[in-house]
Every structure is written in structure tokens, then in C-alpha cells.
Amino acid sequence: MKNRLLFPVLLVAGLLGFASPFSFAERPPNIVLFLVDDMGWQDTSVPFAEAPTEFNKRYRTPNMEKLAARGMKFTQAYACSVCSPTRVSLMTGLNAARHRVTNWTLKKNASNDRMHPRLAFPGWNVNGLSPVAGIPRTVHAQTLPFFLQKAGYRTIHVGKAHFGAIDTPGADPRELGFEVNIGGHAAGGPGSYLGKQNFSAAFRNASRVWDVPGLEKYHGEDIFLTEALTLEANLAVDAAVAADQPFFLYMAHYAVHVPFANDKRFIDRYLKAGLSKTEAMYAAIVEGMDKSLGDILANLNRHGLTDNTVFLFMSDNGGLSAHGRGGTANTHNKPLSSGKGSAHEGGVRVPMIVDWPGVTKSRSVCHSPVIIEDFFPTILDIAGVGPVEQIGGKIDGKSFAPLLKGHTQLDPDRSFFWHYPNNWGPGGPGIGATSTIRKGGWKLIYYHDPGRKVRYELFNLIDDLGETKNLALENPGIRSKLARELANYLREVAATMPIIKASGQSVPLPE
């Protein structure tokens, strides 16, 4: 009964304690979290596989290369397979199965699940990161920026928010602990990337809910959205420096999300290389994102802050591949299988780099798996804030600060969980309503659809990174052991499951 009361609406956290700005023996580091939207593991010239691939040769990201040379590259970093669940986990330290924002959000009290012939979908937290029902509007979820703000940080949000639905407090980052919000609202993609189109969806006759807010000064100008957000981010950093205040900059780009547009600064090189127009636009948006990274790093250097700024780079899910791209669907993240929306590695494994000056070893590589909810305790660790307690006394994330300090792994027996009791829409390998566990090199996916011929997929990621061979029948003992652990976790967090239309019963937990 306790879980039933706490979780259907989401998230008020309790604060056990936090460091005040006056308790630091030394000035705390500035923190920049640079989150890219829909950027795949292969959408960069930085190789995250054992050796560079053809995709690494396609893309041009020199500033990612510089960041990786300065800090630590993570080869097994994980997010959720779609955006809102990742962003809520980042802000709260909770797994999506626990906070129940399991799909992307937009309209108040409305689900974005597509119709399914055999499944009806559960009452997940369609409004996103919002206050608990019955609590006054001024009481909000205790998010990452809330804790940092209480510790003396100026908290700056730039770009895509996508934390809560339209007309809910979670739609405005300023309601969630950010003092500054530039361009963030409920929508999960840009109306347009072009200043000449006022960053509005009007040009494509789409709903104006997608229009990027707060950038009116650039309307009508010949400027790309990524550049406008970067200019504003640097101005916000300038203001924090002028106020002599440590800052947390959450630079959350709309790039590289659809609808793609022609970034004329970079597209010619990709057209000349023979890419299709769609893929050339995509590659140019990737390069524009990388230029933003370089411009923000340059501004930190201009202020003399490079050595006192921790920089974290991450993507919110795997690269788009099932639709909307040029070439063959579900191949854009190879050697990983599938892409955004999938429980396969292409949907959840993402690029990640961290530079903590004086702590991370230059050009270091970490092969220990980490997941998006780990960012919450890690950033608080870096800032010297804590201990904190989240709703229900649980934080699913584990600080990876020890990895940054040179430890080779955290908990070798740790299990990682994904839960997506929803219907994204497009098809492809690993796409559908699923629950997933990874433990060691083994990964088990449980498909909720009772009409599916194969309900379990078991992969050995050490030997089969591309998830080409389902070992569920060959290894029934491993399959059963992982299924039981996955079921126990879903039961512990009172995870919601789809309803089987034919029977009216919930999809059974894996067994």
C-alpha cells in the first residue's frame, strides 16, 4: 500500500543534509553537464568501440576528441531508450521503473503510447516530473539543481527540458531548481533549427507547442538553434563569473533530434563526401553540436576556469535509426543493434566523456558500466553535497566518482535495469514493450506482448556486442536466474505492467 500511495504521481524528496556554500574549505568546482539529444554511440569521430569504425570516420567532432584526450572515456555508458525517462532519472537518481515516467511526455494527462492490437498500456506518469497530488504547487520534487542551488551554486538550464507535460510545473525548469532557463519547455524537439523560421514549427504546419521559447532576439536571423543556445549559455556563464558564484550549467541541446535542417556552416563537406541529403544534414548537426562544445570550453578557458570546472558529456538515448534517417533502418549505430526506442544496445548505449581536472587521468578509458541515474549522486559527490535521500528512502544511482579517481569498477555484481511498458511506434530489433536486466556480460530482454513468438532474448555482450544470437534456449539456467532477479526488482519498485486486452489481466512478470 505504501508504494501505491507514493508512486502514481511522482516525487517529493527529503533532504537529510547538504553542504552550505560556507562549509567548503575551498571553492567548489563549477560543473557543466553537456547532454546531447538522440546522439548515438557511433555519431562521433571518437571511437567508443575497440577500434575506429566507418561511422567514426564519417563524423567530425574534434572538440569531443579534445575532451576525451583531457579526461576519461566511458565505453559502456547507458541511458533509457527514449528521452523523458532519461531526463527524469538524471534529475532524481531514480530508475524509470521506480519513478514511472517510462515514455516521453508532452500533453497534460495524456499518454503518447501508440495503439497496440493485444496490449493496453498502464497508468504511467504521463505528466512527468511534477509535484505529488494534493501538495501545494510551491512544493516540488527535490531535483539535482535544487540540491546544488541550496549549496550555493547558480543553476543554469539551457536547451531542451522535456521534464514535464504542458501546463504542469515540471514544464518549466525554474520550477525544478534552475534559477535560469533558456529555451526549455515541455516539448521534446525543436519547432525548427533555423532562426529565419523563428525556431517555430509553423513552417512545417505542425503544432506550435514545438516552438522553442525565449529566443526572440534571434528571430529572423540567419543562425542555427545550436549556435543561439551556445551564445546564451556563455552569457549565462559570464553572469555567474561576474557574480563570483560557482555554477552548474546544464547544456541540454535539442540537437541532434528531428526535424533535421540544413546547417550551412558544415553541410557541404558531407554532401561532397557522397552522403544523402538527410544524412548530410544529420552529420552537419552533429558537427554543430561539437562546435558548441568547443565554444563552451573556450569560454571557460577565457575566464581561467578550465582547471576548476568538471565537464560531463552524455547523450539521452541511442541514435535515431528506426525511421527518419537515410539509408537502411536500424543500422545507424552498428556494430550495435537497432537504435532509439530499442532495448538493444543501439537504443541504450551512448557516448560519455568526463573531465575532472586534477582527478581524471588524461586519455583514460573506463570499461565499467554506468547508467543515467548514476549522474545524480556523482554530481552531488563532486560538488560536496550530501548525503541526500530521495522519495521512499531510495536512490537507484551509484556515484561513479571512484571510477573518475582511477578505480577499475564499482560493484562487479551490480545489475542494471530498464523498464519500458509502452509502445513507442516504429518497429525494429528490440523495439516494443519490454523489461530488461544486464548483469555482468549477460543481458536478458523480456517482451510483454503475449502474441510475440519470442518472449525472451538472452545475449552475451562480451562475445556478441551486436546482439546477433539469442541464447535463451541454450542457457535456460541463466535465463531463469536473470528473469527471477528482474521480476523481483519490478515487484520491489511496484513497476506498472501493460494489460492483456484479451484477458484484462496484467502482463505477468518474467519467470
The DSSP annotation for 419-488 comes to EE-S--SS--TTBSSEEEEEETTEEEEEE--TT-S--EEEEETTT-TT-----TTT-HHHHHHHHHHHHH
> In the CATH hierarchy, which fold is given to the domain comprising 2-115+122-132+143-189+225-253+282-411?
Alkaline Phosphatase, subunit A (3.40.720)
Does residue 380 contact residue 386 with C-beta atoms inside 8 Å?
A: yes
The pLDDT value given to residue 386: 82
With H, G, I as helix, E, B as strand and everything else as coil, classify residue 195: helix
Domain residue limits, the chain: 2-115+122-132+143-189+225-253+282-411, 433-511
> Which residue is it, cell 505492467?
497
C-alpha span between 12 and 176 (Å, rounded): 11
Omega prior to 259 cis, within 30 of 0: yes
418: CB partners within 8 A, 6+ apart: 80, 81, 96, 97, 343, 348, 434, 435, 436
Phi and psi torsions of 306, nearest 5°: -55, -40
pLDDT along the chain (511 residues), means of 10: 32 38 66 98 97 97 98 98 98 95 96 97 90 39 89 98 94 95 98 98 97 98 98 98 98 98 98 98 98 98 98 98 97 98 98 98 98 98 90 88 93 96 97 98 98 97 98 98 98 96 98 95
Does residue 58 contact residue 46 with C-beta atoms inside 8 Å?
A: no
The pLDDT value given to residue 394: 87
> In the CATH hierarchy, which fold is given to the domain comprising 433-511?
Arylsulfatase, C-terminal domain (3.30.1120)
The DSSP annotation for 388-428 comes to -B-GGG-------HHHHTT-S-S-TT-EEEEEE-S--SS--
C-alpha span between 194 and 268 (Å, rounded): 17
The pLDDT value given to residue 390: 80
C-alpha span between 215 and 195 (Å, rounded): 9
C-alpha span between 397 and 374 (Å, rounded): 4
The pLDDT value given to residue 14: 37
CA distances from 133 to 130, 137, 140, 296, 403 (A): 9, 9, 11, 39, 39
The C-alpha cell at 245 is 558564484
> Within 10 Å of residue 159's Cβ, how many Cβ atoms?
29
C-alpha span between 62 and 466 (Å, rounded): 27
The C-alpha cell at 96 is 524509470
Give the pairing of strands 309-315 and 349-355.
antiparallel
C-alpha span between 243 and 382 (Å, rounded): 22
C-alpha span between 89 and 416 (Å, rounded): 13
Does residue 283 contact residue 259 with C-beta atoms inside 8 Å?
A: no
CA 153, 156, 160, 165 dihedral sign is: positive
> Within 10 Å of residue 115's Cβ, how many Cβ atoms?
9
Omega prior to 377 cis, within 30 of 0: no
End-to-end CA distance of the chain: 24
The pLDDT value given to residue 23: 40
Class of residue 136 by CB neighbours under 10 A (exposed 0-12, middle 13-18, buried 19+) = exposed
The pLDDT value given to residue 27: 86
CA distances from 186 to 127, 138, 160, 256, 439 (A): 10, 19, 8, 17, 34
